[in-house]
């Protein structure tokens, strides 16, 4: 491990440090330092973001919440409007690691790490978050992440912030199934948001984590749900569609067939939990 470590104090200084592919940005370091230790990445230079004040902010407008690059999971959990306005994001972040990991790890780090098991990602896909890049471009999260640990970022770019549009949902649900209850990476995660009209679904968004190279939205299920009542027959149909849509792999945490079965069964939570419009 032979690398230099720099800690710029402004974004102008930061840009000057981003000069080759072996330079790595570090926010909380909870992913990066693990990858360095196991030899998965071999940096020549690490650029810490922690001393740049313009990256540490949470702003709100009428339409969106904007979370700066160095905002930690704990900062967000302590930001009181989050639970009220974005309960699914609050719940997802609350399941990340341990208090120590949440004190250091950032929302942006979780996104750039681009794991299909990244817990905040599931909520951010459902909320249709957008990623603000250092050159001012703003990209939908689904277009920003291109595969496991892969994003569209070039070595000269960094993420400034995440924009999360505000919208009111009548029902939200998030569940992370892991091998144990605490400090666990999900075997499958699921979330949905529902707007109701009378006793039927007006709009539904559904996403799964850990069942494909990236978090996935199930657009066919979302389309099918429009105008339907949440009944056992409705969930039977969704369950079949989920089974076709998810494309998990075998890994050390679970087999592909177990993940497929789990994904198609987990939507029955709608019935078990008495979820209704
Ligand atoms: C014990 C343990 C438990 C964990 N449990 C969970 C869990 O339950 N759920 C979960 O989702 N994750 C979990 N993680 C993973 C990790 O904590 C999160 O992904 C965290 O949010 C990463 O944030 P960070 O600030 O530490 O990222 P860092 O490690 O600093 O960075 C992660 C990646 O993003 C890049 N990066 C960081 N900031 C920027 C930026 N502004 N612009 C461009 N690139 C950037 C880095 O170069 C690196 O490639 C766990 C990790 C550990 C060690």
Cα(171) to centroid(ligand 1), Å: 29
DSSP secondary structure letters along 39-66: TS---SEEEE-TT-GGG--EEE-SSEEE
Q: Please report, in tens digits, the pLDDT of each residue of the chain (277 residues total).
A: 689 999 999 999 999 999 888 999 999 999 999 999 999 999 999 999 999 999 999 999 999 999 999 999 999 999 999 999 999 999 999 999 999 999 999 999 999 999 999 999 999 999 999 999 999 999 999 999 999 999 999 999 999 999 999 999 999 999 998 765 555 677 899 999 999 999 999 999 999 999 999 999 999 999 999 999 999 999 999 999 999 999 887 777 778 888 899 999 999 999 999 999 9
Q: What residues contact 117, with CB distance under 8 A and at least 6 apart?
A: 185, 186, 189, 209, 210
Residue nearest to atom 31 of ligand 1 (CA): 109
Q: Which two tokens stand for residue 100?
A: 């120590």
CATH number of 4-165: 3.30.465.10
- What pLDDT is recorded for position 258? 86
For residue 107, give the ligand 1 atom closest to its CA: 21
Q: For 171-272, which CATH superfamily applies?
A: CO dehydrogenase flavoprotein, C-terminal domain (3.30.390.50)
What does the alpha-carbon distance between residue 163 and residue 131 come to, in Å, rounded to a whole number? 6
Helix (H, G, I), strand (E, B) or coil at 44: coil
Cα(102) to centroid(ligand 1), Å: 10
What does the alpha-carbon distance between residue 222 and residue 225 come to, in Å, rounded to a whole number? 5
Q: Which two tokens stand for residue 174?
A: 């998030």
What does the alpha-carbon distance between residue 64 and residue 138 come to, in Å, rounded to a whole number? 14
Which sequence spans correspond to the domains of the chain? 4-165, 171-272
Tell me if 4-165 shares its fold with 171-272.
Answer: no
- Pocket-forming residues, ligand 1, beta carbon under 6 Å: 24-32, 34, 49, 69, 95-97, 101, 104-106, 108-110, 112-113, 118-119, 153, 158-159, 183, 185
- Say which residue the tokens 């208090």 belong to: 99
Cβ-contact 28, 109 below 8 angstroms: yes
Helix (H, G, I), strand (E, B) or coil at 135: coil
What does the alpha-carbon distance between residue 34 and residue 166 come to, in Å, rounded to a whole number? 34
């Amino acid at each position: 491990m032979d690398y230099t470590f720099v800690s710029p104090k402004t974004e102008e200084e930061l840009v000057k440090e981003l000069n080759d592919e072996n330079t790595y940005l570090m926010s909380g370091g909870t992913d990066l330092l693990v990858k360095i230790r196991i030899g998965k990445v071999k940096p020549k230079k690490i650029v810490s973001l922690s001393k740049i004040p313009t990256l540490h902010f949470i702003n709100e407008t009428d339409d969106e919440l904007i979370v700066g690059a160095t905002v930690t999971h704990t900062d967000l959990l302590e930001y009181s409007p989050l639970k009220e306005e974005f309960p699914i994001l609050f719940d997802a972040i609350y399941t990340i690691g341990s208090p120590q990991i949440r004190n250091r790890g950032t929302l942006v780090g979780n996104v750039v790490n681009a794991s299909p098991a990244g817990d905040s990602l599931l909520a951010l896909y459902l909320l249709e978050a957008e990623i603000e890049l250092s050159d001012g471009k703003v990209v939908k999260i689904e277009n920003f992440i291109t595969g496991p640990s892969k994003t569209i970022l070039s070595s000269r770019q960094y993420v400034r912030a995440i924009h999360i549009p505000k919208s009111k949902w009548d029902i939200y649900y998030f569940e992370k199934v892991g091998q144990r209850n605490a400090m666990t990476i999900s075997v499958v995660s699921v979330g949905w948001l529902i707007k109701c009209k009378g006793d039927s679904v007006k709009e539904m968004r559904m996403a799964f984590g850990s069942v494909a190279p990236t978090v996935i939205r199930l657009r066919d299920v979302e389309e099918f749900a429009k105008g339907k009542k949440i009944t056992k027959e409705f969930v039977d149909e969704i369950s079949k569609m989920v089974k076709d849509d998810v494309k998990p792999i075998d890994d050390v945490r679970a087999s592909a067939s177990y993940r497929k079965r789990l994904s198609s069964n987990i939507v029955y939570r709608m019935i078990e939990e008495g979820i209704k419009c």
